[in-house]
Amino acid sequence: MAAAAEAAVGGGPGSQSAAQRRLRILSGHLQRSPASRAPEAERLLFPSQCGARGAAERPVASTIPKKRQEILKWNGWGYNDSKFIFNKKGQAEFTGKRYRLSGMVLPVLKEWMEKTLGASLEHKITSRAFLNTSDVPSSIVNEEFLQDLRATKISYSQEAEDRVFRAHGHCLHEIFVLREGMFKRIPDIVIWPGCHDDVIKIVELACKHNLCIIPFGGGTSVSSALECPADERRTIVSLDTSQMNRILWLDEKNLTAHIEAGIIGQDLERQLGESGYCTGHEPDSMEFSSLGGWVATRASGMKKNIYGNIEDLVVHIKMVTPRGVIEKSCQVPRMSTGPDIHHFIMGSEGTLGVVTEVTIKIRPIPEYKKYGSVVFPNFERGVACLREIAKQRCAPASIRLVDNAQFQFGHALKPQVASIFTSFLDGLKKFYITKFKGFDPNELCVATLLFEGDREKVLQHEKQVYDIAAKFGGLAAGEDNGQRGYMLTFVIAYLRDLGLDYYVIGESFETSVPWDRVIDLCRNVKERIVRECKEKGVQFAPFSTCRVTQTYDAGACVYFYFAFNYRGISDPIHVYEQIERAAREEILANGGSLSHHHGVGKLRKQWMKESISDVGLGMLKSVKEYVDPNNIFGNRNLL
């Protein structure tokens, strides 16, 4: 352990001597050319540093507070003040003031739920309003460890609420447990490091006292990655990175920024925006998910066509492991030095260590943004259009195609129209598409578009995309529909909580698939879900739908939603898990991947050997055994 500790602090004697050699060379250059120092000084901006203890005690004010329970739900998605409800008139509305949909009445949602899912306002379940701390498993922490931890002056908590908030992600079964009972095992202690050096101290203490560490970023996992193994007998530490949330430097010449990994997406974009920059990485969870979480799960964003996925954005990663710190020696765009160590870190899901700092590419904020939408006669035509756009490599920042069931669902979320004129125009558009153009309302599908960049180039790009769409029977459906589609991205997750109040359980999952398998895979998976529901005794027809969310040269990401009414079923979560497992088997049988961007966690690891081969899995296990021989990072994801 002494060797590991030495490596963690300074990288070992070999790396120290190499660093000293480099410093001597650089210092010689600076002494010969004093004037050369000025441009370098201008190149980097330093809003904050991480080295000093004082700096570590002053994280940047985050949208999500350290005590998450102050503004977030303890047994559902998102903010306490934002939720779907049925008002006294029986109309659905979305509460709060945070979103464009907030405060609006949704006159069609109730009818859609009744017709599609068999839900009824007469059949309502009331979940527990408050967390009963007496239900929470006791905290078991070694006193010697606590003494060592106090000596570091790093913030920690053993309070029940803090521990429960970090015991789960947002899988259906996790939220169901919170509404109905309690987890058998949760973290014993939550620790908030303030910087990279704090993480080193925490990992050293965990090695010394043989503890289990589960890193926690934004808590948005949908792969059971944050669940504590029920049979873990060691003290479980939730290492919450949220107080490591600063931009340490911003390099305007190289268009990169070095950032602490605990920062959440919306804060990152806001802080960069103050200097005129952005990352462009916008996963659906960006309000709450963290930079470190994106790296640990190989995340993808809705605007990846311009900005890339997380693996395209990352320039440098620093990660603390029980063996020491992993990082490259320089911050360059590419290296040919054997297998890329970043690809051991990205997707490691907290099994090897804690990502503490990341250098990421940035771009100037685009001067112009324009939404759009296209309606197609059917899903097949829409997929063919997206394939052609990908082939010509002219995809906008984001292009997403929803099937007819999801189109109808989106219509159910349309707010009440205040203007008679607006209502008339909507009716006119519907008449034009269905009667004049002959589109079947039960077959048509819609693609939403987002263009970003220089105004003139955006307008040229827009024309090119619409011209391609026309060749596949697509009709321009307006900016409003496109903008509303992207607005719904951030509120749709709140709907599951409403469903649970009325005996409806729902979940989403995703895959990536070659272009020639997209149509078959979508059809077969949706049909399999319907068939499995019937065989498992679900009394009402399920809601089964999909959308194409990201496109590539060789294929696409497909995202599925499904939900069903579980009235009359004694163990709905068990039935749901059986159906989801069957859907995943169907995806794999149809040439799809295990996951495109959600990750594996514990939920999908049973298919890892099939997905990456027995030898591939053995390689990952070998890395784990070398980096973490005592399984300090024991969340049991992936392997």
- State phi, psi for 120 to the nearest 5 degrees: -145, 140
Contact by Cβ (8 Å): 360, 290: no
Closest CA to 598 of 234, 274, 285, 268: 285
The question of whether 368 is a catalytic residue gets the answer no
Q: Which two tokens stand for residue 379?
A: 């899903």
What is the signed CA dihedral for 200, 202, 208, 213, rounded to 10 degrees?
-110
- State phi, psi for 341 to the nearest 5 degrees: -65, -25
- Element housing 380 (H / E): helix 379-391
Contact by Cβ (8 Å): 447, 385: yes
DSSP three-state, residue 514: strand
**Rg of the chain, C-alpha, whole Å:** 25
Q: Which two tokens stand for residue 319?
A: 């990660």
Contacts of 414 (CB under 8 A, 6+ apart): 106, 108, 484
- What length does the chain have? 639
Residue in 503, 559, 566, 576 annotated catalytic: 559
- State phi, psi for 351 to the nearest 5 degrees: -90, -15
Residue type for position 627: V
DSSP three-state, residue 457: helix
Cβ burial 220-237 (10 Å sphere, 16+ → b, else e): bbbbbbbbbbeebebbbb
Closest CA to 549 of 510, 590, 521: 510
Look at phi and psi of residue 549 and say left if phi exceeds 0, alpha if psi is from -120 to 50, else beta.
Answer: alpha
H, E, C per residue of 563-594: EEECCCCCCHHHHHHHHHHHHHHHHHHCCCCC
Residues acting as catalytic residues: 559
